[in-house]
Amino acid sequence: MTKTWWWKFSLLAVTVLFSALYVYPTIANLDLETTKFPVKQKMNMGLDLQGGVYMVLGVDFNRVYKEVVDRQGQSMTEHFKEKGIAITSATLVRDASAVAEDPQVEVKFDAAKTNEMKEALKKEFLTLRLVDDKPGVLRVGISREYKNDVREKTLQQSIEVIRNRIDEFGVSEPSITSQGTDRVVVELPGVKDVERAKDLIGKTARLEFKIVNDGVLSEGQLAGMIQKAEEENKITYVEGKTAFSEYAKKMNDLLRDKIPANSEIAFERVKTGLQKDAPSTRIPYLLFSKADVTGDDLQDAGVSLNPERNTPEVTLTFNPRGAVGFDKVTGENVGKRLAIVLDNMVHSAPVLQTRISNGRAVITLGRGNHDQMMQEAKDISTVLRAGALPTQLDFLEQRVVGPSLGQDSIHKGSIASLIGSALVFLFIMFYYKKSGVIAVVTLVLNVLFVLACLVGLEATLTLPGIAGIALTVGIAVDSNVVIYERIREELRHGKAIQAAIESGFQKAFRTILDANVTNAMASIVLLVYGTGPIKGFAVTMLIGIVTTLFTAVFACKVFFDLYLRGLENKGAKTISI
């Protein structure tokens, strides 16, 4: 054989070896925790195969807009009061002209100041837009830019609220993602109790500010107590398995008589690494149980840059009632830490520097580079907003698959795919004889490559995905058929065997490429617009198209060259095709 052939063969052999390495753990069902096998990846099974809950949630933006525009109206009143323009009323428009998606506020004031007000509004309230004006009466709605901003932030905070409760599900690989601009998709593999999941997700977020009870126990003492309680009562917290609230409740019950009566233990979760899936540790806090200020008192929160140091910081604005409460808390607790607690989970505990009376506070962040600080500021402000502007989530879609049904699907799907493939293999071998055997070998390799790619790319296998693999076999056969029919034609035109094979492969290549590219486009559209299991189908089809090009054009040629060499050695004048 020629040197080039050996190169090609080696490449193919290495690819096959690697693919086999990737597929083996799944086929042999290795325990990834204990195995010494070099590849520690298994096929991700979709919810329809392993069972679990899939939910699509819609965010009720109209409620948020209404709340936002109403609050803007209040802050306008205050703003202009400072400037000497008395606003007599700022009320939400409730007449027939009011639209749900575009709530508006009507502001009434001294008619003589109309022009001044209009000017000021344009300059100082970029978040609002003027809808209508009459002397002494202005009607305002949310500006387009601000609306988009609100929308984006609201979606983000909805995801954050669910993620905050993720430990409650006892799921190892939950997924919470946004879909489009107004939806959240929650996938909880292995969860059976959809009602409980719905209760947890649908619950309105509760934000509380609690003072850290630092004087009684040191951090080390508290951590030691918890560790001791864990050991004595054989409680282990396993991330992804233990429901968090149960764990926290147990700890509080066990240590009830060791901590002051007016206090409770709460935890903050901190990632131990920078990666998204890095494990997290729990930092315990001893908090005063009474929440002095809650999310209801908070008007808004956001990220801004410190004008002097140019570092990101979080700004908080309290509503008038909240400002009073916050003034009291800060006045009494200067020097202490104030914990930000969302749904009983501590998110941050900044130190109170001074008494704050005007309801406007800033949280400056610790060290770190600009990007890290920016991220942290965004995270904290998202948590704060989640409490300040709680969103209502509607359940748009829920799909639950029981684990036994999933097993059944895997079983039936695989059997059907095997039978289908076997039928095709027999058909091709019958039709093309020895060349047919080559085709079958390439098809088997093709399936191996598809499976390996699925594992390697951490794609998810779904039931339609299994169908996609079977269909890939059907479509990959096409490439073989196109090539073989070409070779036959060339032979019929009287070409020598080798020449016929060369030109057969060459001429067929463009056809195969065109056909597969258009096929791929349809799959990409499916991938972009499809949901859940259908995405799984598109993924396997796309991978299948790439592996088909590799096997039918490259691998098949390698085997053909080998076959041809054998024929030449025997001095045969015909080829079995």
Sort residue 120 into left (φ over 0), alpha (ψ -120 to 50) or beta: alpha
Can you tell me which of 86, 99, 415, 496 binds another protein, judged by CB under 8 A? Answer: 415
From residue 274 to residue 293, the character string flagging contacts with another protein as x (rule: CB under 8 A) and all else as - is: --------------------
Helix (H, G, I), strand (E, B) or coil at 207: strand
In terms of CB distance, is 152 or 397 closer to another protein?
397
Q: Supply 196's token pair.
A: 């409980």
Stretch that binds another protein, among 12-20, 111-119, 274-282, 511-519 (CB under 8 A): 511-519
Q: How far is the CB of 424 from another protein (least distance, A)?
A: 5
In angstroms, the CA 298 to CA 317 distance is: 6
In angstroms, the CA 287 to CA 260 distance is: 10
In angstroms, the CA 558 to CA 437 distance is: 14
Nearest one of 192, 170, 171, 168 to 403, comparing CA atoms: 192
Subset of 531-560 contacting another protein (CB under 8 A): 531, 533-534, 537, 541
Q: Supply 458's token pair.
A: 């951490």
Stretch that binds another protein, among 299-307, 325-333, 335-343, 521-529 (CB under 8 A): 521-529
HSE, CB side, 13 Å, CA atoms: give it for residue 476: 37
Q: How far is the CB of 260 from another protein (least distance, A)?
A: 42
Subset of 53-72 contacting another protein (CB under 8 A): 56, 58
Stretch that binds another protein, among 36-44, 164-172, 257-265, 529-537 (CB under 8 A): 529-537
* Binding of another protein by 302 (CB under 8 A): no
In terms of CB distance, is 56 or 131 closer to another protein?
56
* Binding of another protein by 101 (CB under 8 A): no
Nearest one of 562, 467, 481 to 515, comparing CA atoms: 481
| Contact assessment for residue 480 and residue 427, using Cβ atoms and an 8 Å cutoff | no
Can you tell me which of 45, 128, 291, 477 binds another protein, judged by CB under 8 A? Answer: 477
Q: Give whole-number Cα distances, 441 to 84, 112, 391, in Å.
A: 86, 89, 56
Subset of 424-453 contacting another protein (CB under 8 A): 424, 427-428, 430-433
Q: How far is the CB of 486 from another protein (least distance, A)?
A: 9
| Contact assessment for residue 329 and residue 297, using Cβ atoms and an 8 Å cutoff | no
Question: Tokens 């390799």 label which residue?
Answer: 445
* Binding of another protein by 573 (CB under 8 A): no
In angstroms, the CA 475 to CA 420 distance is: 12
Q: How far is the CB of 525 from another protein (least distance, A)?
A: 4
Q: How far is the CB of 398 from another protein (least distance, A)?
A: 4
Q: Which residue type, as a one-letter code, is found at position 213?
A: N
* Binding of another protein by 475 (CB under 8 A): yes
In terms of CB distance, is 10 or 518 closer to another protein?
518
Q: Give whole-number Cα distances, 63 to 102, 149, 394, 397, 521, in Å.
A: 10, 15, 12, 21, 40
By rule CB under 8 A, what count of residues binds another protein? Answer: 78
Subset of 149-208 contacting another protein (CB under 8 A): 194-195, 198
In terms of CB distance, is 442 or 516 closer to another protein?
516
Can you tell me which of 332, 394, 458, 568 binds another protein, judged by CB under 8 A? Answer: 394
Q: How far is the CB of 152 from another protein (least distance, A)?
A: 20
Can you tell me which of 478, 498, 553, 567 binds another protein, judged by CB under 8 A? Answer: 478
- What is the CB neighbour count within 10 angstroms for residue 335? 9
